[in-house]
Amino acid sequence: MIITIPLVLLLAVAAALLLRFKAVGAGAAVVVALFGFYLANTGAADTVNQLVTAVTGALADAGR
- Is residue 61 within 8 A of residue 53, CB to CB? The reply is no
Q: Which pLDDT does position 15 carry in this prediction? A: 87
Q: Which residues constitute the domain of residue 23?
A: 7-62
The answer to the question of residue 52 being in a domain is yes
The answer to the question of residue 2 being in a domain is no
The answer to the question of residue 40 being in a domain is yes
The answer to the question of residue 1 being in a domain is no
pLDDT in tens, 15-55: 888 888 988 899 988 888 888 888 888 898 899 889 989 99
Quote the number of domains for the chain. Answer: 1
CA-nearest of 41, 52, 39, 59 to 8 is 52
User: Can you give the pTM of this predicted structure?
Assistant: 0.65
